[in-house]
């Protein structure tokens, strides 16, 4: 590859990709809202110039779902995904030299709350509610229309682990002694939340809601892998092959941080707490059990297939580097 275009480059994943491609000597152009972007969302001509002639287009744009699902936030979550994807599709359709590959972010949250079996691209069941409808609308917009020269892949991304993102609040909780499991329970709903599809329904007990995750290094590796594999298109689950559960996740974080105890958080604590910090309990209570069947079948080798080594690479990077470099022999 010689030129990559990244939309939504200022986010956690986007910033990592920009730095990684530029370090490899690849030209990167960005599309976004900030002054540092090469093209802004309000400038279709600039977007078209950026996309024309690129080898790979990566779209990660969209308002964070780490917020309260108020009517205004819900509208912006959908708009920021659907409209940006439509703008990119128009640019690709008009390009004299359209990108060979366009990978567009989606979410593993599109699948139903799953405690009974893993969800794969082949036999996974889509869920219901606001978050699922966002994902459906996003993918529908992405795959709309004919783009015969461009292969399209939707990335159903699980929770991304890296130096930033979700790890920061989890580490903070653990260090404060609050890093126990997040425990679901019954909670009264309102008519408005039921109508909007934003009420999390009581499911897994005892912190056993499944936690599907993927390391940031593998997100980048998977995008490169997909760009090189011309037979892969459609939807792809971007998740590590060995999901865990919430209780194991929090216990592993505590162990790596050397924190002996973590107080559990019951739903009666989580609901008012999430309202105070302006987020939703669905983000920690929904059981996401997702397996990357298509990637495994295609031969992708995960850099971080298992949770504890993946977390160690983030929380104890010095120890990971020392383990990776063999000690010198005597006399060397």
Does residue 237 sit within a domain?
Answer: yes
Mean pLDDT of 215-227: 98
Residue-level pLDDT at 191: 92
Residue by residue, what is the 3-state secondary structure of the chain? CCEEEEECCCCHHHHHHHHHHHHCCCEEEEEECCCCCCEECCCHHHHHHHHCCCCEEEECCCCCCCCCCCHHHHHHHHHHHHHHHHHHHHHHHHCCCCCCEEEEEEEHHHECCCCCCCECCCCCCECCCHHHHHHHHHHHHHHCCCCCCCEEEEEEECEEEECEECHHHHHHHHHCCCCCCEECCCCCCCHHHHHHCCCCCCCCCCCCCEECEEEHHHHHHHHHHHHHCCCCCEEEEECCCCCEEHHHHHHHHHHHHCCCCCCCEEHHHHHHHHHHCCCCCHHHHCCCCECCHHHHHHCCCCCCCCHHHHHHHHHCHHHHHHHHCCCCCCCC
Residue-level pLDDT at 1: 81
Does residue 329 sit within a domain?
Answer: no
Q: Which tokens in the block code for residue 264?
A: 């559990």
d(CA 76, CA 53): 31
Q: Indicate which CATH number applies to the domain containing 206.
A: 3.40.50.720
Confidence at 318, pLDDT banded by 50, 70, 90: low
d(CA 88, CA 41): 9
Residue-level pLDDT at 327: 38
Contact indicator for 209, 287 with CB cutoff of 8 Å: yes
Residue with tokens 């997040």: 182
Contact indicator for 30, 11 with CB cutoff of 8 Å: no
Confidence at 48, pLDDT banded by 50, 70, 90: very high
* pLDDT above 50 (res 331): no
Does residue 322 sit within a domain?
Answer: no
pLDDT tens track for 106-156? 999 999 999 999 999 999 999 999 999 999 999 999 999 999 999 999 999
Does residue 161 sit within a domain?
Answer: yes
- Paired with 39 in beta bridges are 31
Does residue 325 sit within a domain?
Answer: no
Cα 64–chain centre separation:
11
Angle at the Cα of 96 (from 91 to 98), degrees rounded to 5? 60
d(CA 318, CA 305): 20
Does residue 275 sit within a domain?
Answer: yes
* Pairing assessment for the beta strands 56-59 and 3-7 based on DSSP bridges: parallel
d(CA 278, CA 310): 29
Does residue 32 sit within a domain?
Answer: yes
Instruction: Report percent pLDDT > 90 for the chain.
Output: 92
Contact indicator for 255, 207 with CB cutoff of 8 Å: no
* Domain extent for 167: 3-317
Does residue 241 sit within a domain?
Answer: yes
Q: Looking at the 3D structure of the chain, how many domains does it have? A: 1
Q: How many CB atoms lie within 10 A of CB 264?
A: 15
- Residues 6 or more apart in contact with residue 146 via CB below 8 angstroms: none
């Amino acid at each position: 590859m010689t030129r990559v275009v990244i939309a939504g480059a200022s986010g956690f994943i986007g910033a990592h990709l920009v730095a990684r491609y530029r370090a490899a000597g690849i030209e990167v152009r960005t599309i976004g809202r900030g002054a540092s972007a090469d093209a802004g969302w309000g400038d279709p001509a600039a977007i078209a110039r950026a996309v024309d002639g690129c080898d790979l287009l990566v779209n990660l744009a969209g308002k964070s779902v780490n917020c309260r699902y108020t009517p205004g936030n819900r509208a912006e979550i959908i708009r920021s995904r659907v409209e940006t994807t439509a703008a990119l599709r128009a640019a690709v359709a008009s390009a004299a030299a359209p990108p060979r590959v366009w990978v567009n972010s989606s979410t593993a949250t599109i699948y139903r709350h799953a405690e009974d079996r893993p969800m794969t691209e082949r036999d996974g069941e889509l869920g219901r509610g606001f978050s699922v409808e966002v994902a459906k609308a996003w993918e529908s917009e992405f795959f709309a229309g004919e783009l015969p020269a461009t292969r399209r892949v939707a990335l159903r991304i699980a929770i991304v682990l890296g130096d930033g993102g979700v790890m920061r609040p989890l580490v903070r909780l653990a260090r404060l002694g609050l890093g126990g499991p997040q425990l679901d329970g019954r909670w009264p709903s309102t008519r408005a939340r039921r109508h909007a599809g934003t009420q999390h329904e009581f499911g897994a007990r005892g912190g056993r809601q499944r936690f599907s995750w993927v390391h940031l290094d593998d997100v980048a590796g998977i995008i490169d892998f997909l760009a090189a594999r011309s037979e892969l298109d459609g939807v792809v689950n971007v998740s590590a092959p060995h999901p865990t559960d919430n209780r194991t996740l929090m216990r592993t974080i505590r162990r790596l941080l050397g924190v002996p105890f973590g107080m559990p958080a019951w739903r009666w604590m989580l609901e008012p707490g999430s309202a105070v910090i302006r987020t939703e309990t669905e983000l920690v209570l929904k059981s996401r059990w997702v397996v990357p069947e298509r990637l495994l079948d295609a031969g992708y080798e995960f850099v971080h297939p298992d949770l504890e080594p993946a977390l160690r690479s983030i929380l104890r990077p010095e120890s990971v580097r020392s383990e990776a470099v063999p000690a010198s022999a005597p006399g060397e």
